[in-house]
Structure 1
Amino acid sequence: MLAYIIGVVLFALGICVSVALHEAGHMVTAKAFGMKVRRYFVGFGPTVFSFRRGETEYGLKWIPLGGFCDIAGMTALDEVTPDEAPRAMWRFKTWKRTVVMSAGSITHFILGFVVLYLMAVTMGLPNLTPVDTSPVLSATSCARSATTEAQAQDTSCPPGAPRPAEAAGLRAGDKVLAVGGKPVASWTEMLAAVQATKGRTVFDIQRGDQRLALVVDVPQVQRWTSAGVKEVGMIGASPQQPAVTTQYGPVAAIGATFSFTGTMFAETAQRLVEFPERIPAVVTAIFGGERDPNTPVSVVGASRIGGEAVERGIWVLFFFLLASLNFFIGVFNLLPLLPLDGGHIAVVWYERVRDWIRGLRGKAAGGPVDYTRLSGITMVLVLIGGAVTLLTVTADIVNPIRLQ
């Protein structure tokens, strides 16, 4: 239990640090371009402490959920003092404002990459792509009928059950080259060949430097499948499982991490596309339905999974989740919706394109976008976001996703 609590706290702390650095990304780039940063605070609520260095106030607040960076004049509607007006953010060039507003997401991407790189050179990167295992035996067992899903998942052997592979002399570590004269290159191919076989069959085996021909008396048994119960051949053998992670050297890890990051970006984009259609499943889970492991989770849910990972000693999963969450937050924050940073970037580039078109038509540049006209849409999006957050937090409390 203590390990679980430590895991939850560590994961929550990791999220808080990520969000704090997100805001630091805005602050550092804004200062680099000469914009005035009034305040940089970690957390929300009452102030624990603060101090001023130069023109910026830094501090910590009691609720460690995020933080904020107050840049003078982020929009033309923001109130600024006379001395702040020349350095108001909205007066700067489009590309500079874009860099500042995207810096938070870029920070998340950098953090995710660093976490994955450190994983690659220490504990290894998870193998995300399913790989068909080589036709190498890890162990022999029995051949028995199983007419239900529960029976099929049961790996125990009843007394007296036939052991065809063992009886023929097959051993752990043997690689099957051919079944009945038909070459096989993967465990899936070998399994299909065995299931289509009956009676005495020659198996070509590679055992170390030796090549052997062993005769297996393959019995036909009834086995449950998703398509129903079928009669298939079975020898009683299990495959060697591929490595869960792959470790790299310091140099090779750079390319591997870039490749892995690309895969994670693709997965994140797919998750965002599927996000709306998975919300009904969250509601179902709240009212007692089975929780789909692919449904969205909140910070609460992610922290609970992180705690379980630490409790079981699965640190690879803990850091993978932390990197995944950074990528998700980074991509999500760039969506062209207010009040997200991506929404502000969209408005900035709308102004830029609009003024370019006006210039082609011989007209003067238009003024800054009136954000009050977008307040209705912004409020709707905030309410939707709040509702989704409430649903996922509730589901993660009453019916959380758990490690299998």
Structure 2
Amino acid sequence: MSHTLAYILGIVILIIGIGLSVALHELGHMLPAKHFGVKVPEYFIGFGPKLWSTRRGETEYGIKAIWLGGYVRLLGMLPPARPGHPDKPGSMVAEARAESLDELGPDEQDRAFYRLSVPKKLLVMAGGILTNLALGVICLTVALGVIGQPAYTATLASVSECVSSDIDAGAACTDADPTSPAAAAGLQVGDTIVSWDGEPTATWAEVQAAIAASGTEPADVVVERDGQALTLTITAVEVPRTVYDAEGNPATDASGEVITEPRPYVGIGPSLGTVRTPAGEIPRVVGDAVGQTLKAIVTLPAGLYHAVAAGLGLEERNAEGLVSLVGVGRIAGEVSSAGTGTDMGLPFSVRLFSMLSLLGSLNLALFAFNLIPLLPLDGGHVAGACWEGIRRLWARAHGNPDPGYADTARMLPVGQVVFYLLILMAVLLIWVDIVAPI
């Protein structure tokens, strides 16, 4: 497969993943709504021109052209105006109320969403939010526990023929260089180190630790080759190696000279692959991901500021900062095409982990974003239901009459402002992803 075709495939996979996430999110709203009797005339994935639809009972299910979202239309989302508090004729609020209720017949008024009890409203509106949370957790759990995180493995990708004069610089072998311990013992590319001097080695870090522990003494090394276990005896040699600091840069002394230290050397290099995260650690890792996503939403204004500053060239782009769907699409394309062309060494498992992690992170972002308690987001409707419940509990506790439904229609002007702010944020992030991509 060509690099360009693989890049496009990655974007297509992302679009399909977003479409499925949106479809399940809207199902999270629709299924409890239907169960509680709310009338649901439409369930669509995407926006814009209709590509396909079918009617089942009273609901039309379909797909539209632009897969950047979706919707399920629940009738009666907004309550009628309170007696004595009429809306201004022709106002946005009045028209929104009419549109919300006009498809309900005289005998269907009890099927309006606003008539649901507070717990039922919360279940309907939180259903989509929790669906995204569940999808994010599932994607990350599979990526970590089934596919595994990218890591250097105990399988060999290289075996040096000699102990060169400058190992860290990758100097070529000469006739004067001695044969490396790995070549002398018969290690081959593709061998998997099973144990080193009696120490089991499942990861490259464990191989390195075992080599350091055995030093320059002869060590019995068990390798798996073509499905068979072989035992080889390897004697490492001590050579000067560069010392690196915490940032991965060569450490230097007061005079600026690179610091070296003698270490055992065998002459082998690991292959990149994936290592499964132990089951006991997965909840912590996934929990950290959820926490970081929630933190990003809380610090959204600061994150947007830094993204724009990076777009203006005032600072470096934060690789863990905000990103638009354009940026996410570019990342998906790069992940998908990383095993083609000049990058043939990148394993499929690494690309699969990255794609699953990307979809998991997107679902966590949708979960966290919809928690914002403002219309038109789901969190706005959740906040309205919570406010209604608080008012009714307070009235009941003080022996006052039922205050009635929370009038979320009054928040529509605020919701309209939020909508335009979301569009502005999306445009800014797309611009940043074009001029200063991660």
Same fold (TM over 0.5): yes
CA distance in 2, matches of 1:205, 1:126: 33
Contact 2:384 2:408 in 1 (8 A): no
Q: CA deviation at 1:104?
A: 1.1
Contact 2:79 2:409 in 1 (8 A): no
Q: In angstroms, what is the RMSD of aligned CA positions?
A: 4.4
Contact 2:129 2:371 in 1 (8 A): yes
Answer yes or no: is 1:276 the counterpart of 2:301: yes
CA distance in 2, matches of 1:49, 1:220: 64
Q: CA deviation at 1:35?
A: 0.9
Contact 1:74 1:88 in 2 (8 A): yes
Gap regions ≥5 residues in structure 2:
81-96, 188-192, 199-204, 223-230, 254-258, 340-350
Q: Which residue of 2 aligns with 1:287?
A: 312
**Which one of 275, 284, 288 corresponds to residue 245 of structure 1?**
275
Answer yes or no: is 1:306 the counterpart of 2:332: yes
**Which one of 137, 148, 151 corresponds to residue 126 of structure 1?**
148
**Which one of 46, 54, 60 corresponds to residue 57 of structure 2?**
54
Q: CA deviation at 1:169?
A: 11
**Which one of 381, 394, 398 corresponds to residue 435 of structure 2?**
398
Query: In the alignment, residue 68 of structure 1 is paired with which amino acid?
Result: Y
CA distance in 1, matches of 2:5, 2:271: 32
Answer yes or no: is 1:156 the counterpart of 2:170: yes
1:356 and 1:213, CA in 2 relative to 1: closer, same or farther beyond 3 A? same
Matches within 5 A, 1:190-229: 203=216, 206-208=219-221, 219=240, 229=252
Q: CA deviation at 1:400?
A: 2.6
Matches within 5 A, 1:178-193: none
Answer yes or no: is 1:41 the counterpart of 2:44: yes
Say which SS state the counterpart of residue 46 (structure 1) adopts.
Answer: strand
Contact 1:333 1:341 in 2 (8 A): yes
Query: In the alignment, residue 374 of structure 1 is paired with which amino acid?
Result: M
Q: CA deviation at 1:374?
A: 2.8
Contact 2:216 2:238 in 1 (8 A): no
**Which one of 54, 69, 85 corresponds to residue 109 of structure 2?**
85
Say which SS state the counterpart of residue 57 (structure 1) adopts.
Answer: strand
Contact 1:72 1:89 in 2 (8 A): yes
Gap regions ≥5 residues in structure 1:
146-153, 178-184, 195-200
Q: CA deviation at 1:220?
A: 8.3
Contact 1:164 1:217 in 2 (8 A): no
Q: Which residue of 2 aligns with 1:233?
A: 261
How many residue pairs get aligned? The number is: 370
* 1:218-259 Cα shifts (integer Å, max 9, x gaps): 6587877769623341436778579623289xxx7xx88766
Q: CA deviation at 1:109?
A: 3.2
CA distance in 2, matches of 1:176, 1:387: 61
Q: Give TM-score scaled by structure 1 length.
A: 0.73
Q: Which residue of 2 aligns with 1:103?
A: 127
Say which SS state the counterpart of residue 40 (structure 1) adopts.
Answer: strand
Query: In the alignment, residue 72 of structure 2 is paired with which amino acid?
Result: C
1:169 and 1:304, CA in 2 relative to 1: closer, same or farther beyond 3 A? closer
Contact 2:29 2:125 in 1 (8 A): yes
Matches within 5 A, 1:279-358: 279-288=304-313, 290-313=316-339, 314-358=351-395
Identity among equivalent positions (%) equals 33
CA distance in 1, matches of 2:396, 2:73: 33
1:114 and 1:216, CA in 2 relative to 1: closer, same or farther beyond 3 A? closer
Q: CA deviation at 1:9?
A: 1.6
CA distance in 1, matches of 2:126, 2:430: 27
CA distance in 2, matches of 1:320, 1:214: 41
Query: In the alignment, residue 326 of structure 2 is paired with which amino acid?
Result: V
1:22 and 1:167, CA in 2 relative to 1: closer, same or farther beyond 3 A? closer
Q: CA deviation at 1:139?
A: 6.5
